[in-house]
Structure 1
Amino acid sequence: MRAVIARSGGILELAPSALRPLARSGAHLVPLGEGDLIPLPDEASVAHLPGRRAFAADAEGQPVNIDGGAMAVAAILPVGHLRCLLPASEPEPGAPRLPLYGYTAVAEHRGRLMAAAVATDAFAWWRPAEYRRADLPAAVAATRAALPGNRVVEQLAACALEHNCYTAQNTFHRRYEGALPASPACNADCLGCISMQPDPVPTPQPRMKYAPTAEELAELAGYHLAGGDARIVSFGQGCEGEPLTRDATLAEAVARIRARHPDATIHVNTNGSRPEALRRLIDAGCNSVRVSAISFTDPVFRAYYRPVDYGLEEVIACGEVMAEAGGQVCLNLLTFPGLTDVPEELERTAAAGRAMGVRQVQWRSLNVDHDWLVRVMPEQPPAIGMTRALHWMRRELPGVEHGNFTRPWPPASPIQFAGDAAAGITMGADA
């Protein structure tokens, strides 16, 4: 195996053959072995990391900086894959913050580019080939004509056409999961927020600047759900803040949607800050929630979310109230190698999953400048590895499904997870 580096202009090269590939787990440099890698997935991209020195191991296994102006290289994975290790990089003085992507370690093996990743979910709704269709502009035009003056339509048009948001595209194609962004405000200040970042960090999905009415939301939901392949509408999109800050409006919208579409899945993606607000939506007809968390260790949770007037008690309670109502509870686990796979973190996550009545864990690679995040988050002890962590969690939460994507509720079939052969791995075992 060979380490992969980039030279000026982003031209990829193989590192000298005497050097062996390294990766990072949090702040720790670790060997990158064949068992850590899969062939670079279709639809993945490869990027050089400006201002980041590349590291490899010498013949004695000691980390060395690859000199000659070598820059670190990373893969950016498509949906349905989980990053397992970070690039072996170190920022130079004055290096810019990286855009918000899930940077993944890569290497070359037998003439192929490989990535430190595992496939987690192959749900047909979210295959990249299903998107960027040539008929998208016509679908947007048709929706605008059907719902003139609806501001949510205009918001999603920008998301679909300019920012390549899959859920927004679904809304116009009237299929699968449709988007209902609802809130310009938030009660957290997440380090990796994708709708609001300080300059000069690019914001992938600029936040909406207005508060839609219940009528606008219900109107668009009805239009989407009337399409033949539409099953879900969801509040809490990448282009908004926290939907539960607008519970009165959302409850009214949910009641209208439920009255017209009794079999629909009405879903909300949330930071889990307001369980009483979620209960109000449930009473109106919401039957599915996905609660996001990076950690169930309070200092780590607070360092990342910087929450306003809520904590982990409220996050767990949001799962509890939906589970008590018989709805779907998903945990959106924001993963970061060297944090998520620390044994103490795993124990707390499993305990929270049991308390919340979680039915599905969605393993989400946190999109963030990994070098920057390591500097600003609490220091972590050595981890056991993401693949081992994933299989340990499957053992600890029997009956809970693991993947990436929210399904209609109730589910039609179980999620097919790619790594069943290794399901017996324990936390203390060698991978």
Structure 2
Amino acid sequence: MTQRGVRRLLALVLALAVVSVLPTVATNVAGGRSGTPAGWTVPVLLGYAAVMVGLLREALRRNDSASGSRGLDVPVWGLVVLGDLALATFPAVSGGTAEDVPWVLSLSPVTVGAGAVAVPSLWGALALTAVHLALRLALQLSGVWTVPTDVMALETIGLVVIAIAVSVAVLAVRGSARQLESARGAAERAAAEAAAAEAVERENSRWDGIVHDDVLASLSLTAHARDEADRERARQAAGRALTSIARETERGPAGSTPVRVPVAVRRIADAVRGQHPQVELVLDPASEHVSDASPGPVAAEPLLPAEALEALQAATVEACRNAVRHGARQGVPPTVRVRVRSTATGNGGAAGRLSVEVRDDGAGFDTRRATPRLGLAVSVRRRAAVVGGRALVRSAPGVGTVVLLSVPLTGSGAPAVGGAVSGIRS
């Protein structure tokens, strides 16, 4: 329960406490047994009516404005002051010795309970209770109403118990509410910080991948250029790097609109073809003629988040580049095959994952001993990780390399609609 809820609850409880003594007060006043003049009784009753309005208003308040946070103080202290003031002035306005129990005494539990709510400590509640008990003693000594000593002692103990019980309960509830709001605030701050950190990590990963895939690649080609053909390839790579940086700067991070699986497969194939124009692509018919202008997703069709698609595109292209660059045997580039598929997982139409397999029959390497390549660490593994995906690398000397990439799909329902890109040869 929040502190706003605690205030509303306390206001409602105090209002019900006032209502509980109304029958006693009404019986005494209506029966003419109050023993007090109307000029005193009416203002007291009007004061309690005003307090009731304030309590009900606080109990029904929905907003939690700055003024509303202290809106309970006025009616609560009103109960304390009215109860003590009525008890203190009763002997002066009463018509002598009362035959019945004065109705102002029936207000004592409400006054003591309100005092325990009004102050933020048990000692404060006991101090207000002591003031009220002193006024009851004065009434006893005035001769307006007298009771045996043992009865007075029991009533005193009862009021002290009420004050202690109410104070302890209120302090406990308010403390729990503060702890809950503190924990909630900490959780919200942690969530905001985590979201901000995740956004920064994704942006850093995106730019790290661009720097590695385009800028460092062009610099590497330039450094190793031996003839005019090599220099021309280096110039083209540098041009692509500049274009990529300019495009990414203008476009910013990936949009938030998810795409259908066939569209995702087509875009991955286009990305591979754009970086490796010489490759041969064979697409699944479901994805061959799909474009961005194709009809939107149907109900229960799995979708791929835009940022996951961007990461999967870049990681697939880099895996192909690594295969061509590092998998050659005696100067002969390896055969590279890429397969893209979507799979449903679980029961009840779970969304599943979109997976990419990049396989080559090149030289391979020992994954237990080899130092992780920058392309695999930054452009492949890290890109997949920041969007909740996975990247596994399997290789051995002389048997080639397999890179397995997968990212989660969103949506649910229909059997997965898969695409395939096969027979990509460099």
Calculate the TM-score normalised by the size of structure 1.
0.21
Greater per-residue helix proportion: 2
Structure that is richer in strand per residue: 1
Larger Rg: 2
TM-score norm. by structure 2 comes to: 0.21
